[in-house]
Amino acid sequence: MMDCQLEDRKSAISPPQFATVLSGVRGAVTFDAPLAELTSLRIGGPADALIVPEDVPDVRRIVRQAATARLPLMVLGGTNLLVKDGGVRGLVLSLSKLAAVTREDERIVFAEAGVRLPTLLGYAVSQSLSGLEWAVGIPGTLGGAVVMNAGTKLGDVQNCLDAVQMVTPEGHVRTCAAADLAFSYRRVDLPEGVVVGARLRLTPASKKHLEASTKAYLQYRKHSQPLSQPNAGSVFKNPSGTTAGRLIEEAGLKGYRVGDAQVSAKHANFIVNLGRARATDMLLLIKKIQQDVFHRTGTMLELEWKVVGEG
């Protein structure tokens, strides 16, 4: 199904380019598509085109044709994303239909990139498999988690990743062993392309114990972090020897707000959307935090969020 009406604004895509890139695509395509409701912050302007591929062959076609047409392409999925108010030029992919999960053997689970982390964790627990407990309370997708090496104090993607399945710019499917990838804090150096799946190496464990431990950790996170409000996870990376949250709180910024963007009263390294926040509000608040912490401590906090789009 296609909605082919475009607003009168500058687009990165001309009609002939649209025709080239979308030729043969089976998934849903929406032009001038609002992105706010597709992000964990509930913020963001429209994409020139939002595509929801039907399956991996559809992704292969889209990626190959976008590369041929030299059009920018972005994949949604990570929770740590701030889309600017002017939206995103080019193509945006939602891999929500790539949601299959299969158990390959006693320890290996293969999951497509669009699987939501709560769903994947629930599957692992139902199969009596440990290794994904770090994902408790993270609302993003597996693909987004892989790209940013997502994690919590319990662990991260690197701890359980066996291999990544990707679609290259040429439209080929490539499998990259985790042992061949370079991981760092909230980052992994992946080849160019789109992550469409991952093989996870998990550990057999007591289902009863897993249910109890994940429930307890979720309660802890609900108590200490603003999980019930729109947010994009930790805003800043933790500096060496301390935490960003501590520095922000000591600067007196807990509860500080710009418009409807507010430093969380529960955890100072979270910024929440009180309802009508814009990306502009978020960026002004981020700048305020960085300046105040720097003037007080000499430490410049490094952003953990990914900011995309036009202002």
Residues forming the active site: 186, 234, 304
Q: Is 292 exposed, middle or buried (0-12, 13-18, 19+ CB in 10 A)?
A: middle
Count the neighbouring beta carbons within 10 Å of the beta carbon of residue 147.
24
